[in-house]
Amino acid sequence: MLSNEKYKGDALLQKTYTVDYLTKKRVENNGEIPQYYVEESHPAIIDRETWEAVQLEMERRRDFAERYNISKIDYATIDNPFAGRVICGHCGSSFGRKIWNSTDERLRRVIWRCNKKYVVKGEKGCENKHIDDRVLYQAFINTFNAVIENKDYFMEKWKQHLESDNLLQRYKAKQFIEIIKDSEAIEDFDMDLYFKIIEKMVVFEGKKFIVSLLDGTDVDCEIE
């Protein structure tokens, strides 16, 4: 649906064609007959720039998943917001969530570890350390508050990006301005904010992070 040109008011004619006029059977047109692209053929549901920005964002996400070998089962959800977004600073692989169980519930831990740590059983494939789940939540809080603390700098940067030739950069700048302009520092993890502004968290030695925002900004973060 997001890639359908009809939403921006255009139409691609003859996507399918009839192969049997008795049964009315239609099949997808893979070049068997000409196709025609008509701009502004009908009223648009969304503006053209937003539609084009969505196409670029979907391409960015595909490239991201391919670069870090992330499958659909790794995609972030409300119950697991960091899936597919925690990247190893040593080898470039994604981190996976593990649960260390214990007969004592107080000792039960949720940790994140590089997926290449033990590709071969008993052999360490990556030297990066694991991190506690809670550290990731704190890393986002610290990063967001750093942006708020330097709000004037970031707002000026995004305003400049509004004039960029890069359509996606312009769109993200507009979004970030709206999100941050009236925001204040937070004490607790905000799921909605996290999904709106974070692309990935690159982890070094279990406590140092480079947190990448969706506007392309990298923020250094260290959790004691």
- Tens-place pLDDT, residues 159-177: 999 999 999 999 999 999 9
Class of residue 200 by CB neighbours under 10 A (exposed 0-12, middle 13-18, buried 19+): buried
Which of 210, 217, 198 has its CA nearest to residue 153? 217
- Does residue 86 sit in the same domain as residue 35? no
Strand ranges inside the chain, DSSP E: 11-13, 16-20, 25-28, 36-38, 86-88, 95-100, 109-114, 131-132, 198-204, 208-213, 218-222
% of the chain residues with pLDDT over 90: 48
- Does residue 27 sit in the same domain as residue 85? no
**Packing angle, helices 133-149 and 151-161, rounded to 10:** 80
- Does residue 205 sit in the same domain as residue 146? yes
In this prediction, residue 51 carries a pLDDT of 81
Mean pLDDT, residues 197-210 taken together: 90
Give the pLDDT confidence of 36-51 residue by residue, as tens digits. 666 767 777 778 888 8
Domain span at residue 29 reads 1-45
Residue 216 has pLDDT above 80, yes or no: yes
Determine the length of the chain.
224
- Does residue 184 sit in the same domain as residue 74? yes
In this prediction, residue 136 carries a pLDDT of 93
Residue 200 has pLDDT above 90, yes or no: yes
| Residues 94, 84 contacting (CB under 8 angstroms) | yes
- Does residue 107 sit in the same domain as residue 9? no
Higher model confidence: residue 224 or residue 67?
Answer: 67
Task: Tally the domains of the chain.
Answer: 2
For residue 55, being part of any structural domain is answered with: no
What DSSP element (H or E) covers 59? helix 48-67
Q: Give the pair of three-digit tokens for residue 46.
A: 């969304």
| Residues 148, 180 contacting (CB under 8 angstroms) | yes
For residue 171, being part of any structural domain is answered with: yes
The full 3-state SS of 127-150, as one line of letters, equals CCCCEEHHHHHHHHHHHHHHHHHC
Residue 137 has pLDDT above 80, yes or no: yes
| Residues 75, 61 contacting (CB under 8 angstroms) | no
- Does residue 39 sit in the same domain as residue 111? no
- Does residue 208 sit in the same domain as residue 110? yes
In this prediction, residue 76 carries a pLDDT of 79
Average pLDDT of the chain, as a whole number? 86
Most confident among 15-24, 37-46, 54-63, 176-185 (mean pLDDT)? 176-185
| Residues 179, 196 contacting (CB under 8 angstroms) | yes
- Does residue 12 sit in the same domain as residue 107? no
132, 145, 155, 185 from 148: Cα distances, Å: 25, 5, 10, 6
- Report pTM: 0.78
Split at pLDDT 50, 70, 90, the class of 32 is confident
Residue 214 has pLDDT above 80, yes or no: yes
